[in-house]
Amino acid sequence: MRRGWPAVAAASMVVLTACSSGGGGTSAAPSVNADPVKVTGSITVLTNRTDQLGDGTLDKYAAEFNKVYPNVKVKFEGMKDYEGEVKIRMNTENYGDVLPIPSDLSIAQFPNFFSSLGSSEELSKTYQWTDYATVDSKVYGIANFGTVTGFVYNKKVWADAGVTAWPRTPEEFLADLKAIKAKGQAVPYYTNYHDGWPLRQWTDAIGSPSCDEGAKDELATTAQPWAAGGDLNTIDSLVYAIVDQKLSEDDPTTTNWDQSKVMLGTGKVGAMYLGSWSVSQMRDAATKAGADPEDIGYMPFPSTSGKLCSVLQPDYKYAINKHSRNQEAARAWLDWYIAKSGAAQAEQGISSVKGSELPAALKPFTDNGVQLIGQKQDKSAVVKKIDKGAEINLDAPDYRQKLVDIARGAAPGDRDGYFAELDKKWSQAQKTVNG
C-alpha cells in the first residue's frame, strides 16, 4: 500500500490516544438508507493514492458515485507519507470521514478510532478478510481488494539474460539476478530503500517460503524468528544477499519510487518485491514510456518447502472515523467504492467481494500451479504486542533498512550478528508479553 500504490514512507510508531467524540460521532456506522437520494452530507476521504488524485481517477469515481448518491459531496485528501501523517492526525478527531487504516495500528485499538460496520458473522458472508479488522465479533474495516505477494519483474530482461523459468529456490533466484547483471543491461534488483515502504513489503512474504498459512501466528511462540529454517531468516537472508552480492542499485539512498516504475517498465531494472497491485502501475509506466506493457510479469517468492506458494492477503482496510458527523454518507461511499466502483479490478486486485474472479495478471499463477494461501490471524494481536515491545516493527522499513546498510558496508556488523540481535529483542519481548 503505498505512494503510487501505496505511497507510504512509514514512520516510527506513533502512540495514539483515542479522543472523546465530543458528541459529534457514533460508535457504529449505520447501514445505507434504502433510498440513496435521502443520504446527504459532505465527507472527506483520506487517500494514499496521490497518483489517482493527480490524474483525476478518484474524481471519476466520485462522479459515478454521485449518479447513485446525488446528495453526498465527496472530497479527497491525499498524503505522500500516508502512514506518518495520518497517525499524527489520529491524535485528534480530524482524520477524515473515510480512511485506510494505518498498517501498524494495533487491531485492539480499532474500536477507539473507527465505527463498527456490522457483525463479522454477517459481513463475512459478503466480504473476504473481515477477520483482519474484527474485534469482539464486530468489523471495523473492509479491504478494497486483496493482493498476492511476490516479485514484479520485466520478462524481457530475464529472458535476455537466458532465464526462461521462474526460480524455485532462493539460490536459483540469486543465480538469475547474477545472470541479469552479467548481461549488463539492467540493475537486477531495485530496493527502493529511500522511500522505505517497499522494504517493508518483504514482511508480507511470511508464509510463502514455507507454504505455511500459520507462519505469522507462530511468531507469537517462536523465540528466534530469524533462526535458520524460519521464514524471516529466508526472507531477510535473501534481502541481505542481493545487496551484499551487489545485485541491486549502486546507492540505495538515492532511489526514487516514481522513477523505479519507469525503470522497471523500460527494462532498466529486473525485479522488485511488491504486491501484485504493482503490475498495473508498472504496465502503465511502460506504456507511457513507449515500452511494451506485456513485458511486465509477476512471480511468486522462491520456496523452501518444495512447492511455490504465495500469500493472499488484503491491502489497506477502509474504515469510518467514529467521530464523523456524516456516518451514513461515509458508509454509502465505503460500500459503493468497495463493491460497485470497479477499483479493485482496475488495479488487477482481487476484490474483497466473495466470488470475484482472479485478475488476468495472476493467470500464470494458476497455469503454474502456485498455491495461494492465507495468513491466519488468531494470534495477530499477540504478535503485534511482541513486535512493539521488541521495538523491531515488522510493518515499518527501519530494521530492514539497517539490514541493507550492513550488507552494503554502511553500518557495522554482519548478517548473523544482526539476526542474533533481532532474535534476542524478540525473545525478551515475548517473555514479557506471554508472562
For position 106, what pLDDT does the model report?
86
Query: Which tens digits make up the pLDDT trace of 346-403?
Result: 888 899 999 888 888 888 998 999 999 988 888 988 999 999 999 999 999 999 999 9
- What's the mean pLDDT in 189-205? 95
Residue 18 has pLDDT above 80, yes or no: no
Residue 75 has pLDDT above 60, yes or no: yes
- What's the mean pLDDT in 92-120? 94
What CA–CA distance (Å, rounded) separates 205 from 27? 35
Looking at the chain, the whole-number percentage of residues with pLDDT higher than 90 is: 81
Cβ neighbours for 386, distance < 8 A, ≥ 6 positions apart: 219, 220, 426, 429, 430, 433
Q: How confident is the model at residue 5 (pLDDT cuts 50, 70, 90)?
A: very low
What CA–CA distance (Å, rounded) separates 216 from 418? 20
- What's the mean pLDDT in 29-37? 77
User: Distances from the Cα of 358 to the Cαs of 31, 92, 146, 352, in angstroms?
Assistant: 28, 39, 10, 11
For position 103, what pLDDT does the model report?
84
- Find out whether 170 and 302 touch, Cβ atoms under 8 Å: yes
- Find out whether 408 and 251 touch, Cβ atoms under 8 Å: no
Residue 3 has pLDDT above 60, yes or no: no
Cβ neighbours for 337, distance < 8 A, ≥ 6 positions apart: 61, 65, 144, 318, 343
What CA–CA distance (Å, rounded) separates 246 from 1? 27
For position 222, what pLDDT does the model report?
97
> Residue 299's closest CA among 151, 158, 154, 160?
151
User: Can you read off the three cell numbers belonging to residue 279?
Assistant: 503490475
> Residue 147's closest CA among 281, 53, 262, 265?
281
Residue 310 has pLDDT above 70, yes or no: yes
CB atoms within 10 A of CB 90: 24
Map out the domains of the chain with their CATH numbers.
36-143+316-366 (3.40.190.10), 147-312+378-434 (3.40.190.10)
